[in-house]
Structure 1
Amino acid sequence: MSVIRSVVAGCGSFLPEKVLTNADLAKMVDTSDEWIVERTGIHRRHIAADDEKTSDLALAASRKALEDAGMNADDLDMIILATTTPDNTFPATATAVQAGLGMHHGAAFDVQAVCSGFVYAVAVANNFIAMGQARAILVIGAETFSRLLDWDDRGTCVLFGDGAGAIVLKAEEQSGTNEDRGVLTAHLHSDGRYKEKLYVDGGPGSTSTVGHVRMEGREVFRHAVVNIAEAIEEALAATGFTADDIDWFVPHQANKRILDATAKRIGLAPEKVVITVGEQGNTSAASVPLALDAAVKDGRIKRGDLVLLEAMGGGFTWGSALVRW
């Protein structure tokens, strides 16, 4: 029986020009390159310029994704943008991207699931396509996360960076088997009991301020490895695949220690893990599409490859998606 799948037609990414190295941070806060690398695997991160908004980063990545897909804004039915750092409290930053692309039809909205945002957005877009309510959707993860940082807190300011990545999902009729191209399965979770482990201490509805990131690093690490592994196992169980079947694992780039521990827990070979955290830091909702685009552009991910996506973020939120490229 044939089904409609959400096939990745193109991808693109964008990183701000400014680079902040560990040596730069050591001049700002009590830290060192050795301390940061040992605990996180991060060497540098990109930081948005004062006049660069989240929508600017998102728009640049979106144009590259559309070009890669051989499409333009007129071909889109919808834009879904995952972000924790919108340009404004409202309207949705996705509408700024919509206007920037010259798209005057369809719908555009934001998804907020922090670092899990892109995986959430992929799942939402996939459902719209599966239901026949859209044929082509631009899915974006974009952040100017540096705007949320307390630059005196060495436990958080060393972790994060800015950037944007995007993919175009397009409806295609497929055979309905695991050999189909496109999103094969997606699984989302959250548990609000753990809000205090990773959150921002401000917001328009509570303090009328933006606030700063606050995190209990050890607790986040512990929950991340367990929750991510369970979401991955859920995706494998839903499709009948095993870890050996995965060609590429593209995880949220939070911390190299988390990536290594997760891959080991589910039995994935280290050489199958796409890692960009060392050069980009944790870019929250942008990290998965940034890593995806890097692996596609350098030739690692090829058509027909089975690609596993996962992420976990504040909330806690977490999820996985299995995609045949």
Structure 2
Amino acid sequence: MLRSVITGTGCYIPSHTKTNEDFIAQNFYAEDNTLIGIKSNIIIDKFKKITGIEERRYVTDDLNTSDIATLAARDAIKDSGIDMETLDLIIVAHNFGNVLKNSIQTDVVPSLANRVKHNLKISNPRCVAFDVLFGCPGWVQGVIQADAFFKAGMAKKALIIGAETLSRVIDVFDRDSMIFSDGAGATVIEYKDVEENGSGILSSCALSHCIDETYYLSMHPSNNPEVDANTRFIKMKGRKVYEYALKHVPEAMKECLDNSGVDIRDLKKIFIHQANEKMDEAIVQSMYRLYGYNEAPNDIMPMCIHYLGNSSVATIPTLYDIVLKGKDDDHSVDQGNVVLFASVGAGMNINAICYRI
């Protein structure tokens, strides 16, 4: 039986830590461009209670998204033990391309995947490199696409990367900006012959809601009226995103798990996009209620948002790498365990993968 198997993982966690206390001196403005008349320490305390975030990571000035994507890729390739010249696909998920420090301009020509292939010095022209723009679920979607390429007989080995430098596209005057961070995660996936109960992707699903939901995350001017209105920053309608995610993500996760044939009692971990602690907890609890349980197991959901923040497409592959390599004191996985990857983000897009390690 042929299945898509993750044979190597890696990540790049930026060296610069930005704590909540670092925002104490920051003035925050509301969407109507008025100064929020609440002390910053009160805003930050409320932010921490909702999101769970205590600190996040930002890249140093000399690095950009394709650089950290390359660093995560090298880590994953080394872990897999493959010859990188045998790769058939390089897929990089991101949302903003390369954004140089002190610039808001997005650079995606050439694509980040092309740049990663160049940085790795892969000469094989049949190694096809391209980017995926799918909001925060981009890395999961890249894995789904690689799986489809494999099943179509068009590839056998793929490098899937999620990388982002959100610190360069945030409006520092918007309190929601404290959510976002930088990082990169990568996986090598191979199409391999396995036993019926062997490793690999068991099922997947993806959804896009693009009527009322399309602009829940989008680019807009700063909340500070003194900032040039022609400069755009990432903006999020937090309440709308929360309501959307809680309504649709649990159903998608259940659909994916049901299609895999795996009983929910045999699910070991859920690696969910690290968007917001309260939202992620609510999504997982809601999924278990769909199966008739009052609550989810306490140890089902690893999280790194508390110390890494929300690095968009990088959160799931980074978290998976951390847990898989025994770097999480509270969570571990073993060969044969079944896990669920699930994400939601701009578009609005949702996806999930059921995977046996």
Distance 1:295 1:29 in 2: 37
Structure 1 residue 308, shift from structure 2 partner: 0.2
The aligned counterpart of 2:251 is 230
Runs of 5+ consecutive residues of structure 1 not aligned to the other structure: 203-208
Quote how far apart the aligned CAs of 1:28 are.
2.2
- Whether the aligned pair in 2 keeps the contact of 1:73 and 1:102 (CA below 8 Å) is no
Match of 1:206 in 2: none
Query: Is 1:92–2:117 an aligned residue pair?
Result: no
- Matched position secondary structure for 1:98: helix
Match for 1:37 among 31, 48, 59?
Answer: 48
TM value normalised by structure 1: 0.93
| CA-to-aligned-CA distance 1:269-319 (integer Å, 9 cap, x gap) | 131101011111111011110111111111712221111000000110111
Question: Aligned runs of 1:276-295 on 2, under 5 Å?
Answer: 276-295=304-323
C-alpha RMSD of matched pairs (Å): 1.5
Q: Provide the residue aligned with 2:279 in structure 1.
A: 258
* Secondary structure of the corresponding residue to residue 3 of structure 2: strand
Residue by residue over 1:169-225, the C-alpha shift from the partner in whole angstroms, topping out at 9 and shown as x without a partner, is 0110134x4x231111111111112122111238xxxxxx77211111111101112
Aligned position for 2:150: 129
The residue that corresponds to 1:20 in the other structure is 18
Aligned residues of 1:148 and 1:210 also touching (Cα < 8 A): no
Q: Given residue 181 of structure 1, which amino acid in structure 2 is its aligned partner? A: S
- Which of 147, 150, 166 matches 2:171? 150
Identity of aligned residues (%): 31
Deviation at 1:264, TM superposition (A): 0.9
| Aligned length in residues | 314
For residues 33-53 of structure 1, what are the alpha-carbon distances to aligned partners after superposition, in whole Å with 9 as ceiling and x for unaligned? 422211100000001122211
Tell me, which stretches of 5 or more residues in structure 2 are unaligned? 29-39, 99-106, 222-229, 289-295
Query: 16-25 or 235-244: which moved more?
Result: 235-244
Which residue is equivalent to 1:318?
Answer: 350
Equivalences for residues 60-139 of structure 1 within 5 A: 60-87=71-98, 88-105=107-124, 106-139=127-160
Give 1:323 shift: 0.8
Q: What does residue 225 of structure 2 align with?
A: none
Give the structure with the higher percent helix. Answer: 1
Q: Which residue of 2 aligns with 1:187?
A: 205
SS at match of 1:46: strand
Q: For residues 224-283 of structure 1, give each alpha carbon's deviation from its aligned partner in whole angstroms, at most 9, with x where no partner exists.
A: 122210110111221222322111110000000011101211223131101011111111
Report the counterpart of residue 292 of structure 2 in structure 1.
Answer: none
Give the match's secondary structure for 1:34.
Answer: helix
Letter in 1 for 2:168: R
Cα separation, 2, equivalents of 1:25 and 1:152: 10
In 1: Cα distance, 2:108 partner to 2:129 partner? 15
- Using the TM superposition, give the Cα deviation of residue 72 of structure 1 relative to its aligned residue in structure 2, in angstroms: 3.2
Residue of structure 1 in register with 2:32 after alignment? none
Choose the corresponding residue for 1:51, options 44, 48, 62. Answer: 62
1:5 matched to 2:3? The reply is: yes
Partner of 2:35: none
Distance 1:224 1:277 in 2: 17
Higher gyration radius (CA)? 2
Query: SS of the counterpart of 2:73?
Result: helix
Q: Which amino acid aligns with 1:118?
A: W
- SS state of the match for residue 344, structure 2? strand
Partners of 2:27 and 2:61 in 1: CA distance: 21
Distance 1:245 1:73 in 2: 35
